[in-house]
Structure 1
Amino acid sequence: MLNEGDQAPNVTLQMSDGSMKQFAELVKPLVLYFYPKDDTPGCTTEAQAFTTLAGDFAKAGVGILGVSKDTSAKHQKFAAKYDLKVDLATDADDSVCEAFGTWVEKSLYGRQYMGIERATFLIGKDGRVARIWRKVKVKGHAEEVLKAAQALT
């Protein structure tokens, strides 16, 4: 399990344009948020909230990247449909979720299955995890992350 203060894993991410990037190549500080699925109510609300505050994050010098298992093509449709201003990445093989500890057993109506835990990581300039939010509730979350990001920079 990844903890605050730990070095963020240098995983490989597939960006929504199809390009591959090492985590170490991404701009930091960075908000890295994991979400279950494009174009679902909670995930859409979360992406829109981060989009609304994208300018404030940029003023603080903090990037935003959302990660799910959806394909690059699906990410592109999702971003276009809602005019999202956050970058999205694909974790098709679960390696990124595994490295950050967000690939977890879930339960719905008594059925057990594996899925992405809604979680957010604030990564500092040094590549270390500054803050972690697990089992995120969407309402007010982007604002809380922004305050932490502004305090970090």
Structure 2
Amino acid sequence: MDTNSYIAFLVLGAILVAIDGQIIYRSGRKYLEHSYGDSAAGASMTRLVTVLFHLVVLGVLMLISTVDVGSNPTEGVILRLGIMLLLLAAAHALTIAILARIKDRQLQERLAEEMAHPPGQPQTQVQPNVQAIRHEQAPEPSVDTTPPYLTP
């Protein structure tokens, strides 16, 4: 493959990865927005998953660029782009599955919290049951000087 077709493949592949990554980020941020309770946490998790997506797919792009396919440069670029698109689709599906799993986990945690503390019911706090013990003065002990306690 000549230099022009190599550069064309890398540029087209990088553009496709960037576009798909932005689609994943924007839709994933909206998808996870309500599962975390605040949008900042959902956006942060989506950003982490999107960065992973970009790194993996760009690495695959670089590996594919070294494979010789096709009999002429144009055919080689088209075949490489076809392989890249198939792998990009698989990576996209895997990323969406990861985002769905994250959302499911967050929803399960929220349901567990709601079941433990249902809204609308006051949270009951366990109060210790302490009762005051009355201290009554005991009568003074008396020494009886009458029989049978007298000793001879």
The TM-score normalised by the length of structure 2 is 0.24
The TM-score normalised by the length of structure 1 is 0.24
Q: Highest CA radius of gyration, 1 or 2?
A: 2
The structure with the greater share of residues assigned to helix is 2
Structure with more relative contact order (C-alpha pairs < 8 Å, separation 6 or more)? 1
